[in-house]
Homo-oligomer: A and B are copies of this chain.
Amino acid sequence: MTNLAALTAELPDGTVVTDPDILASYRQDRAFDPDAGTPLAVVRPRRTEEVQTVLRWASANGVPVVPRGQGTGLSGGATAVDGGIVLSTEKMLDITVDPVTRTAVAQPGLLNSEVKKAVAEHGLWYPPDPSSFEICSIGGNIATNAGGLCCVKYGVTTDYVLGLQVVLADGTAVRLGGPRLKDVAGLSLTKLFVGSEGTLGVVTEVTLRLLPPQHTPCTVVASFDSVRSAADAVLAITAKIRPAMLEFMDSVAINAVEDKLKMGLDRGAAAMMVAASDERGANGAEDAEFMATVFTESGATEVFSTADPDEGEAFVAARRFAIPAVEAKGSLLLEDVGVPLSALADLVAGIEKMAADTGLMISVIAHAGDGNTHPLIVYNPADAAETERAQKAFGDIMDLAVGLGGTITGEHGVGRLKKPWLPGYLGPEAMELNRRIKNALDPAGILNPGAIL
C-alpha cells in the first residue's frame, strides 16, 4: 500500500481524489501562478476529525498540505505545491445560528454569501463583505482576514471572529475562544490564527459575532476631474462621520465598467467615488447630504444622491464589477497596497506617473476610506517586454506605498506572490518574530510551505 493509499483507506470513500483533471483544477488560485505545482491528491474532508487524519498522516509522511477554500485568493496562498496535498474545505458546510446570543457557528467551506444568508434568516447581519462575497469561503476570509466595502465602518473579518477550531500541523485539534463577546483568558490566539493564511493551522470551525440588521443605505456618487480632489473629500468625510462605504474608481476603471455595463457613468471623469451611509432614518439622509456637500466643495463635477436601495446597489455593483471589467482589457497583476489615509492622493498620483512612464495601463480602485488600494496592472502575457514592465511595476508600486508609510498588502495577504517583498517591509526583527511563531507551531513546515515565509 502506498502512503497515499493508507490515507485514502482511513477516510470515507471519495474524500481523497487523484483524478488528474480534477487535480489540475486545484493547482492555482486567482493569482494564476504559472509555476503552480501539481498536487499528489486533493482531499475533501467533511469533519474536523478527518482534517486531523489528513494532518497526522501528512506529518508522519512529511507531505506538505495547502489548505484551500474557494481559491479566489489573489496572492497565491492556495497555490498547490508539487507532491503535496490540497486540503479543500468545500464539503464542510454546516452552520447553526443562535439568534439569542447573536452568534453563528460555521464550518469553513460555506461561501461568505451563504453565511450572510443563513444569519439573515434570523434577522441578523454578518458585516464583512469582500467584493468576492458570492464566490469566496468564510474559511478563506478568516485565513486572509478579508476586508471589503463596509469595513471602513464595520471593521474586517477579525473583528467578527469570536472563536475558532483549528487543526495544527501535527493533527491536534484546538478550540480557541467561543460565543463570549469578551474573553481574555490566555494569549490572544484566536486573533493570531486570523490572517495566518493557512500557515499555522487549518480552520475547521468558526464562531462568528453577528449584528442587528443594517439599515437601508443612502448612496452618494460623485465624479471628479482630479484624483486629489477625491482624496481630499475622503479625509474631510472621515474626519467627521463614519460612512458605511467610501469607494474609489479611477478613469480607467470607470471606462472599463462603462464599456460593459453601459449605465451612463461619466467617461470623462478622472475619478469616481461611491459612498454610503447606513445610519437610521433622517441621519442617513443627513450624512448623505453632508458627503454630497463635501464632494461638491472638494470640486466634484457631478454629484448624485439616492435613498433608493436598488439604485444605490447598482453603483456598488459597478464598483464591485471593476476588477472583472478591467480584466477584459488584458491579463492583470492585481495589487493591494495600503497607505495612511493622508498619503492616498500621493499614492494614486505616483501610480499615474508610473503608468505614463511605462506606457502600461494601470487602473486604481480603492477602499478609499481605509487607504487600501487595488492598482490593477494590465498587460499582454504574449508580449515579453510588456510582461517584464508589468512585473517591475508590481514591485515598484509596493516600494512606492512603503515609501509613503504604507503596507504591501491591506487585505489580500502575502501568499506566495508577495513573499519576496515581506522582509523588506517588516524588517529583520519582525520577520524573525514571524519565523519563531511559525516554527513553534509547525516545526516541520508541513502547512502551506512557501506561503508568507
Residue of B174, B338, B409 touching A429 (CB-CB under 8 A) = B174
Complex: how many Å from CA A105 to CA B351? 29
**Number of A residues, CB within 8 Å of B:** 92
Check if A61 is an interface residue, CB within 8 A of chain B: no
Contact call A156/B173, Cβ cutoff below 8 A: no
- In the bound complex, residues from chain B placing their C-beta under 8 Å from that of A189 are 192, 430, 433-434, 437
- In the bound complex, residues from chain B placing their C-beta under 8 Å from that of A158 are 188, 191
Check if A381 is an interface residue, CB within 8 A of chain B: no
Check if A417 is an interface residue, CB within 8 A of chain B: no
Chain A 280-297 interface residues, beta-carbon cutoff 8 Å to B = 280-283, 286
Check if A412 is an interface residue, CB within 8 A of chain B: yes
* Copies of chain A in the complex: 2
Contact call A280/B279, Cβ cutoff below 8 A: yes
- In the bound complex, residues from chain B placing their C-beta under 8 Å from that of A334 are none
* A101-B341, A102-B238, A211-B242 known; A414+B186 contact, CB < 8 A: yes
Residue of B156, B240, B409 touching A185 (CB-CB under 8 A) = B409
Complex: how many Å from CA A338 to CA B191? 19
Q: Give 18 pairs: A residue, B residue, CB < 8 Å, sorted on A.
A: A99-B239, A156-B182, A174-B430, A176-B433, A178-B340, A178-B405, A182-B338, A183-B407, A183-B409, A183-B410, A185-B407, A185-B426, A186-B434, A187-B195, A189-B434, A191-B194, A192-B192, A212-B238
- In the bound complex, residues from chain B placing their C-beta under 8 Å from that of A392 are none
> Beyond the given A103-B340, A440-B440, could you list 20 further A-B residue pairs with CB under 8 A, ordered by the A residue number?
A98-B342, A101-B341, A158-B191, A159-B159, A175-B429, A175-B430, A179-B340, A180-B407, A182-B370, A182-B371, A183-B407, A184-B409, A184-B411, A185-B414, A186-B434, A187-B438, A188-B195, A188-B196, A189-B433, A189-B437
